[in-house]
Amino acid sequence: MPPDRLTALRRQRALVAEHLAWLDAEILAQAPFQTLPPAPVPAPVNDVPAGPASAPSSAIVDSPSLIEPAPEALAAANARADEIIATYAATERLDPAAARKGCLQLALAVGLLGIAGILAVYLIYY
């Protein structure tokens, strides 16, 4: 393998490791009730040995596993999700404007399909 290609591949591996560390930090920021082990710090490109004997670091290859959330937090999140779903379901069922809009869209779609069918028959048979 040419040395330029090997250098480029090592650089790409370092960039991917940095991106994975950033993703771990973002996941930790968005899910405070889950804890991740500290993300591995990728080695700079200059510190990587140039010989072919260098093996990939196991700290970078292994992905951290997520810890299950507490049952109380999970139950609270599920209860909140059920409240939100119930709220949207109640507002959608009782909204006459949404029903009128849906009926008009359905009538328009059926009308356009009918016109397209008549046009297709006219073009094929006449």
**Residue-by-residue pLDDT tens, the chain, 126 positions:** 577 888 888 888 888 888 888 888 888 888 766 554 555 555 555 555 555 555 454 444 445 566 777 888 888 888 888 888 888 777 666 778 888 999 999 999 999 999 999 999 999 998
Predicted local confidence at residue 74, as pLDDT = 82
DSSP secondary structure string, 32-70? TTS--PPPPPPPPGGGS--STTPPPPHHHHSPPPPPPPP
Among 80, 61, 70, 64, CA closest to 13: 61
Do 78 and 63 contact (CB within 8 A), yes or no?
A: no
